Structure 1
């Protein structure tokens, strides 16, 4: 997994920037590193077509010298403003009123890198790229790379790799997140207090339901940005139900571990008061997420639903990556569906060998992989491939109580059928 940019423009793409007084500091770093400030201009009037997702598509709004920062200018930002103002060193930029868009998008070298990443089965993370660069990156994956992969797979009679794609910590925009779901990718929102994060969960689940391919397995990760500088969630404001810390502790949702309120010396950490004051308190945060979801999103399943989706986050991440490495098995008549005889021919292979030959199954349990395959009559059939205790494919049998639609995952309509070499 790799981001093309982080804080400073580079030869691959422009950045979305930081806002507020933090942006003043980082923008000065961009000037020091690249020789230029961020070239932020008023965003073009880009009205989405009726079939496209809608939402914010701009970069972070920048301050000018003399602007009043909504959160106030901290001491560090103030020193930098004084040092690099109009009379010191070089002239600070003057920006038009926001919202702002970085004029630097995805470069030809950036496009080459993304294509090479897909070829190597790497995960593309567009976070921190400018809005223009993110649009170009997803356009490239959607209209060029994915169709190329399907055409290549159909010609070689192999599973089609699907570009592995993630937004890892909310450095995109509303439209980008929806497009990532449409491309079978995953999104991990930036951590926030439990109330705000539960709102993100409900929003992202709705976006996935509206945009992701049929059969998409929703799961949600979280981007804590654990670099030592990124802020972590604070306490909720006026919750109806506070997190209780029972003397006996509580059982973790997986693993059977008993968790208790953390104490260091004389300090007892309480998420109701301290928020996530240290990384060990994410266990408390998971408990608090359930309370917040019960309060605000009971209609979406509340605490039980958000916990299930969070615990499924690792599986959906690995499945997304697996599709990028081995390809996906889709129940569509476009030449990519394996023949039933192909599955029989792959018996005796280990798990990796079988995935390489046939692609990702539509579902799996501890002993069998479920696939859609084409029988001798040309019709799709659903089968289970069994593996022995050594992890070797040992048999193919008809799936019990399974239809093509129940077992198969239809390919995203945006990818389209294979069209040749």
Structure 2
């Protein structure tokens, strides 16, 4: 059940002081100057910018690409053409709406239809969280509950104004700040704790109100981080050295702690066994810990805060202090000159689909996505060292690997925080997993499996410097091997080789437009060379890298007029980029020997390789390696590959999650990918949200369309989904689009509306996505494909009986005989061949509830 919004929030964090405040003041002044410059460029600068824009639009029109921005539109990068393109790695025309081989396409479509007709696994439900006990049995069980505190002599803790006293025990809200730690909340601005050395009622949470609870005798001891303990007796309530063991009992009338609502009713679905086929949606590309990247000051808000939503969902200090006018980065990215800096509880301007610097994955929004059917989530650790160095505010190291290690640590802290809210270790919905077998158990338990991945520009320190026309790498093969081992031990299982810069592993696809100009300049600072984009004419007419700004017949490096305007905004921090020849463009840099070594090291550990962001040349070479070593663990996670690569990924046994974007664009991508399905592998599809990764989210279609989402609707597993409330904001996918992560169940419902009569097919394919990802992952760690879709792998019944023995676990059976064609309840089905080479039959392996073989019918 959703928690009602409080009538008034508790106070927001205090502003920084001292040296940090002075640094913030300088940055604010700089930001104000930058924004003022952007809004008041001399007419000659505007004319230069518009002239180049007009030339670029003319070049697009000549190639049959749609016009997007009229003259005078603020410069921005969340261009819906690329958000909804089949391949974000290059501009794609109408020919990408269907694969070229129509016979192959029709066969794939028929195969997918047969897949949808297969029996679905039987699902059950599970509780959202364990019920609050009348008397807590451990130090985690009281999370979120209303409890009284009573000493052994019967004395109860009771508040008297701002003082803490004794009397009839008063109910207090136990708001978890971490596992076994709580705020004792009595209402807005009322927190039990140390007030000037005495037990009292503080106006705001702090370390002086953050109680560490441990078991003591038949009760619980309460201490503050500084060591002061809660003492309670008939002589009064005070702080002392030795805590009084206190009994907790469910109370009544407690204040409600401020929190974003869920607005989904019904129990989450789960499997009837821990090893059966799963259902659920999969997002294979999001940046949940992005609040720590780019130095930790560019991103506003964070997915959790020990003291709750009023501290987590606040704007950046440089935004708030200027009323939203000092947000230079947000202004540049969104094209809007200002925004309302207030987050909780009004959320007037953010989060929003086009607001790219504000938090989108707050934990309650993640919880709503899980409650709405999401069961697998890939969190990518992300960094860009040069853009971090350019940004004036920072608190963290800009080194890519330092940032990745920090973000990985934050993922485990986030898991602990969610566990704390749900009543103890392992009880939260967010479960970090490190192999597909563990992931299957987590999902069948009704929780969300979280995979850790990497998407960064300089992984393992593998940059290079161009010296006299030669690339000198800053890393060795031994460095790569050592650090991949470290990342694997940390939990990383999915990885891209490049992001925004060329590096010692390979070339990048680049970026387009204003973003391309800036990132290309940063690429020069990092490597000593710009992207080596050459004119190319790909065989399919579309599989190229990002189109750079170019003037007709321009082949010589020159000052880019648009970059001149950007240079004015950023004070000339980045060098001028060259003009490139006429499109299409392909980066001449391909996969290096170190890049191939990296892929082979990923393969050796059964990790999942993502070729997104590589240049076409590098990606083709990378997929050549994947095919030579026969590694099925390959994924394009957010449409930063090109159309030539997608069929190869499917043929390898890989999986694809197109960039989410607008619902209309995603439906087009889904139709296209169905035509590439490979009959040898289980079919399903997911999405890559890229939220918090400077990727725009899906825009609303409008409340006045003929087929809007109607609330409430029935979600996956039968849950009832209503409009979400967050404080005083009410979200409606028709009006707001994917403003934040909690709206992805609504977005999937919108997909079904856009797909019309094919909506049920699309929903089925999306619900099968998590199983498809798990099967790809199983193959990547050495499990053979199933013998029904791959008849050459079928064994005789006698061979199967020799391989499958009573007492084997489901994982041992997988490794012995490969993936089953059917995993329903406690039975798995595999194909066997008879004396006639063309004859096949289904053998059934039966398991105990604990997942041990108890029978075989072949």
Change (3 A) 1:74 1:338: farther
Write the mapping of 1:97-108 to structure 2, written as runs, cut at 5 A: 97-108=582-593
Write the mapping of 1:132-151 to structure 2, written as runs, cut at 5 A: 132-142=617-627, 144-146=628-630
> Do structure 1's residue 231 and structure 2's residue 696 form an aligned pair?
yes
In the alignment, is the contact (CA less than 8 A) between 1:118 and 1:163 conserved in 2?
no
Change (3 A) 1:377 1:61: closer
- 2:565 and 2:698 map into 1 onto residues whose CA distance is 23
Aligned to 1:289: 751
- 2:638 and 2:801 map into 1 onto residues whose CA distance is 42
Change (3 A) 1:333 1:171: closer
Q: 1:264-321 CA distances to partner (integer Å, 9 max, x unpaired)?
A: 3332222222211111111221121111111xxx3xxx21111111111111111111
Structure 1 counterpart of 2:674, from 205, 210, 218 = 205
Aligned to 2:508: 15
Change (3 A) 1:217 1:13: same
Structure 2 counterpart of 1:278, from 719, 737, 740 = 740
Aligned to 1:388: 848
In the alignment, is the contact (CA less than 8 A) between 1:55 and 1:174 conserved in 2?
no
Q: 1:20-59 CA distances to partner (integer Å, 9 max, x unpaired)?
A: 111112112212222221111111x443xxxxxx462100
Structure 2 counterpart of 1:261, from 712, 723, 748 = 723
Q: TM-score, normalised by structure 2?
A: 0.39
- Equivalenced residue count is 352
The offset of 1:367, in angstroms, is 1.7
Aligned to 1:370: 829
Aligned to 2:769: 313
In the alignment, is the contact (CA less than 8 A) between 1:21 and 1:74 conserved in 2?
no
Write the mapping of 1:155-174 to structure 2, written as runs, cut at 5 A: 162-174=631-643
Q: 1:204-249 CA distances to partner (integer Å, 9 max, x unpaired)?
A: 11222xxx1x25332110100123522111112673222233xxx3
Aligned to 2:709: 243
Aligned to 1:402: none
- 1:60 and 1:225 map into 2 onto residues whose CA distance is 18
- 1:390 and 1:132 map into 2 onto residues whose CA distance is 48
Please identify, of 190-199 and 228-237, the stretch whose mean Cα deviation from structure 2 is larger. Answer: 228-237
- 1:46 and 1:229 map into 2 onto residues whose CA distance is 29
- 2:797 and 2:603 map into 1 onto residues whose CA distance is 28
Aligned to 1:355: 814
Q: 1:172-202 CA distances to partner (integer Å, 9 max, x unpaired)?
A: 1111112212222211110111111111111
Aligned to 2:616: 131
Change (3 A) 1:322 1:77: farther
Aligned to 1:328: 785
Change (3 A) 1:10 1:228: closer
In the alignment, is the contact (CA less than 8 A) between 2:787 and 2:819 conserved in 1?
no
Change (3 A) 1:377 1:114: same
The offset of 1:61, in angstroms, is 0.7
Aligned to 2:7: none
Q: 1:362-392 CA distances to partner (integer Å, 9 max, x unpaired)?
A: 2221122222335678775431111122211
- 2:567 and 2:780 map into 1 onto residues whose CA distance is 42
- 2:571 and 2:510 map into 1 onto residues whose CA distance is 17
In the alignment, is the contact (CA less than 8 A) between 1:25 and 1:80 conserved in 2?
no
> Do structure 1's residue 59 and structure 2's residue 545 form an aligned pair?
yes
Change (3 A) 1:91 1:267: closer
In the alignment, is the contact (CA less than 8 A) between 2:634 and 2:654 conserved in 1?
yes
Aligned to 1:217: 682
CA RMSD of aligned residues (A): 2.6
Aligned to 1:33: 526
- 1:252 and 1:109 map into 2 onto residues whose CA distance is 46
Aligned to 2:498: 5
Aligned to 1:178: 647
Aligned to 1:96: 581
Q: TM-score, normalised by structure 1?
A: 0.76
- 2:502 and 2:735 map into 1 onto residues whose CA distance is 39
In the alignment, is the contact (CA less than 8 A) between 1:164 and 1:321 conserved in 2?
yes
Unpaired runs of 5+ residues, structure 2, are: 1-493, 551-557
- 1:333 and 1:292 map into 2 onto residues whose CA distance is 37
Change (3 A) 1:262 1:215: same
The offset of 1:3, in angstroms, is 0.8
The offset of 1:74, in angstroms, is 12
Instruction: Give the match's secondary structure for 1:236.
Output: coil
In the alignment, is the contact (CA less than 8 A) between 1:27 and 1:37 conserved in 2?
yes
Structure 1 counterpart of 2:715, from 234, 249, 252 = 252
- Per residue, is there more strand in 1 or in 2? 2
- 1:74 and 1:338 map into 2 onto residues whose CA distance is 67
In the alignment, is the contact (CA less than 8 A) between 1:344 and 1:395 conserved in 2?
no
In the alignment, is the contact (CA less than 8 A) between 1:166 and 1:185 conserved in 2?
yes
In the alignment, is the contact (CA less than 8 A) between 2:520 and 2:577 conserved in 1?
no
Aligned to 1:414: none
